[in-house]
Structure 1
Amino acid sequence: MDYIIMLLPSMLKGLTVTLKLFSITLVMALPLGVIMGMARISSFSPLRWFMEFYVWLFRGTPLLLQLLFMYFGLMTLGLRLEREMAAYLAFVLNYSAYLAEIFRAGIQSIDRGQYEAADVLGLSRYQTMTNIILPQVFKRVLPPIGNEVINLVKDTALVYVLAISELSRVARTHVMRDDTFIPFLIAAIFYLMMTGMVQRFFKWVELRYDYFH
Structure 2
Amino acid sequence: MDSLIQNFFNLEVYAAVLPHLLAGLWTTIWLSALVIPLGAAAGLLLALGLTQSRRRWLRWTIIAYIDFFRAFPPLVLLILVYFGGPFLGLELGKVTAVALAFVLNNASYYAEVFRAGLQGVAKGQMEAARCTGLTQLQAIRLVLIPQAVRNVFPDLVGNGIEIVKLTSIASVVAMPELMRAARDAQSLVYNPSPVMLAALMYLALLWPLTRWLGRLEQRRARR
Provide TM-score, normalisation by structure 1: 0.87
Aligned to 1:14: 24
CA–CA distance in structure 1, aligned partners of residues 156 and 197 of structure 2: 27
Query: Are 1:55 and 2:66 counterparts?
Result: yes
Pairing partner for 2:94 from 59, 83, 88: 83
The structural deviation recorded for 1:4 is 2.3
Query: Are 1:33 and 2:46 counterparts?
Result: no
The structural deviation recorded for 1:158 is 0.7
The structural deviation recorded for 1:120 is 3.6
Aligned to 1:151: 162
The structural deviation recorded for 1:60 is 1.7
Greater RCO (CA < 8 Å, at least 6 residues apart): 2
Aligned to 2:3: none
Q: Deviations over 1:139-163 (max 9, x none)?
A: 1111211221111111011112112
Aligned to 1:102: 113
Provide TM-score, normalisation by structure 2: 0.83
The structural deviation recorded for 1:199 is 3.1
Which 10-residue stretch deviates more, 58-67 or 179-188?
179-188
What's the C-alpha RMSD, in Å, of the aligned pairs?
2.3
SS in 1 for 2:176: coil
Aligned to 1:184: 195
Aligned to 2:8: none
Q: Is the 8 A contact 1:153 1:194 kept in 2?
A: no
Q: How many residue pairs are counted as aligned between the two chains?
A: 209
Distance 1:6 1:167, change over 3 A: same
